[in-house]
Amino acid sequence: AQSVTQPDIHITVSEGASLELRCNYSYGATPYLFWYVQSPGQGLQLLLKYFSGDTLVQGIKGFEAEFKRSQSSFNLRKPSVHWSDAAEYFCAVGSGGYNKLIFGAGTRLAVHP
Amino acid sequence: DAGVIQSPRHEVTEMGQEVTLRCKPISGHNSLFWYRQTMMRGLELLIYFNNNVPIDDSGMPEDRFSAKMPNASFSTLKIQPSEPRDSAVYFCASSLGLAGTHEQFFGPGTRLTVL
């Protein structure tokens, strides 16, 4: 069955430090992969998505993600974190004939000044 | 565009009462989703409509939950009777295409508290 694993429940980084959030997926066919962000008290917002082409995808707010088929991973990165990046981040994979979107459990990011 | 609109934003009710949550998707979007988010269970898809037709309702917890989409611009999620374990944030989202391929735009959510 299709699944998404985000191994880190909570991550704390200092402002200005680099960030990498991990995501591993299980899907037999070519996956559609997404990263969403949820700020406190708000709905989810798309950061970026990947289906084909360049395996390094650029998104909004300075985020990028790299698709690695051999590792079944789609990790999210940002070179320098800002305090406003504190939020919960969800990785998701499109499955079920692309009629279903499966979310990971989320990673909550805290940013220290 | 105003984005996905949900009402009410907050709802407090007593166990056994009927609760109706409302959603207006983004104009032109043909897919609509209802999600529930709790600390314990995370984000769960309850039901997914495409062109006003329910495609996947496997996430609806039990018969107490029902959802309708009478037209392309309105959907409701009803809980009758409500129970304390239904307390959660309920999100509505809409998209231009299939659930697994297109960006979903989320509303601000309805925070439901059942006493």
Q: What is the pLDDT of residues A8-38, one digit of tens each?
A: 999 999 999 999 999 999 877 778 999 999 9
String of DSSP letters for A54-84: -SEEE-GGG-EEEEEGGGTEEEEEESS--GG
Interface of A with B in 25-84 (CB under 8 A): 32, 34, 41-46, 49, 51
CB contact B108 to A (< 8 Å): yes
CB contact under 8 Å between B100 and A93, yes or no, is yes
**Average pLDDT for chain A:** 93
- pLDDT for B98: 86
Structure tokens belonging to residue B53: 């037709």
- Helix, coil or strand: residue B114: strand
**How far apart (Å, rounded) are the C-alpha atoms in residues A73 and A65?**
10
Q: Which helix (H) or strand (E) element contains residue B32?
A: strand B31-38
Residue A74, pLDDT > 80, answer: yes
List, for residues B15-45, the tens digit of each pLDDT value: 999 999 999 999 999 999 999 999 999 999 9
CB contact B56 to A (< 8 Å): yes
CB contact under 8 Å between A44 and B106, yes or no, is yes
**How far apart (Å, rounded) are the C-alpha atoms in residues B69 and A32?**
27
Confidence of residue A96 (pLDDT cuts 50, 70, 90): low
List, for residues B51-70, the tens digit of each pLDDT value: 999 988 999 988 999 999 99
Question: What is the maximal distance between C-alpha atoms in chain B?
Answer: 39
CB contact A100 to B (< 8 Å): yes
- pLDDT for A21: 98
B43, A103 contact by CB (below 8 A): yes
Average pLDDT over residues B73-97: 97
- pLDDT for B1: 66
CB contact under 8 Å between B100 and A49, yes or no, is no
| CB neighbour list of residue A33: distance below 8 Å, 6 or more residues apart | A23, A25, A49, A50, A51, A65, A67, A74, A91, A92, A93, A94
- Mode of pairing for the β-strands spanning A3-5 and A24-26: antiparallel
A42, A30 contact by CB (below 8 A): no
- pLDDT for A10: 97
Residue A95, pLDDT > 80, answer: no
- pLDDT for B104: 94
**A105: nearest CB among B4, B42, B106:** B42
- pLDDT for B31: 95
Chain A residue with CA closest to B40: the answer is A105
**A99: nearest CB among B4, B42, B55:** B55
**A98: nearest CB among B101, B107, B109:** B101
Average pLDDT over residues A85-97: 89
CB contact under 8 Å between A106 and B43, yes or no, is yes
Confidence of residue A57 (pLDDT cuts 50, 70, 90): very high
